Amino acid sequence: MKSPDSNSRPKSKSESLWVSEAGHREGSAITSPLGATASRILREDPVYFSIYASRYKFVARVLHAAEVVVEIGCGDGFGATFLSRAAQSLVCIDIDERTLDACRDRLASLSNTTFLYHDLVKSPLLEQNNGADAVVMVDVIEHIFEDEEASFLSNSMALLRENGFAIVGTPNIEAQRFAGERSRRTHVNLKSATTLRKTLEGYFERVVILGQNDEVVHTGFFGMCHYLWALGFSPKK
């Protein structure tokens, strides 16, 4: 049975209001924040996508009103759409030029955000040194080989001002036995709550460890956490 033409049939007040507003909603739409990685996650596992997004929601809340923020390992820029609203100025660094070019095109509407290529394993970023209120790494440190970790972290934390802080998020090594093949292949430097704290204590006077399961961030038993957060305060000279 063919439905009646929407223009000819009577509309309820509710439908009329909704349809009248639809044009405004479409007209004000910004470029999609979903790059290749976020789109794949949403397509393959929409439930996990909500967990993935909640990590950046947490970071954005912690960063609230920060002046200058540097995200290291920004990937397809999904996190930039959260962090750019929490910071006055956002610098997103990655080592994949093609992905960065795509971010610059797709996220051009983020006027306070700069996408920059630099390999922090190899050298510090001198033009940004000691200029950031916060450094953010979400799903990054586990991809850095252990023999390159010290140079990577030293160069990364050198970006911070004297009273700056860092937010580092990474999967818990305790959950590795549940991980898929791709995760096992690419996560070359997983941490436990203990080793993550010990690592960051080499760069900060105070380190706070939190756990996360699904969307919930907590201070519970870290052995049962899928994901870990380290917040580092008072950078060591």
* pLDDT exceeds cutoff 80 at 223: yes
Confidence check: pLDDT of 22 > 70: no
Is the model's pLDDT at 25 over the cut of 70?
Answer: no
CB atoms within 10 A of CB 187: 17
CATH of 45-235, one of 1.10.3720.10, 1.10.10.10, 2.60.40.10, 3.40.50.150: 3.40.50.150
Closest to 229 (Cα-Cα) out of 213, 215, 208 = 208
226 CB-contact burial (10 Å; exposed 0-12 / middle 13-18 / buried 19+) = middle
Rounded Cα distance between 195 and 43, Å, is: 34
Range with the lowest mean pLDDT among 34-38, 108-112, 125-129? 125-129
Q: What does the domain layout of the chain look like in residue ranges?
A: 45-235
- Find the length of the chain: 237
From residue 208, give the alpha-carbon distance in Å to each of 9, 116, 123.
Answer: 61, 29, 27
More confident residue, 90 or 178: 90
CA distances from 68 to 51, 58, 114, 155 (A): 26, 18, 11, 17
Mean pLDDT of 70-83: 96
**Rounded to the nearest 10 degrees, how much is the dihedral formed by the CA atoms of 200, 172, 182, 146?**
30
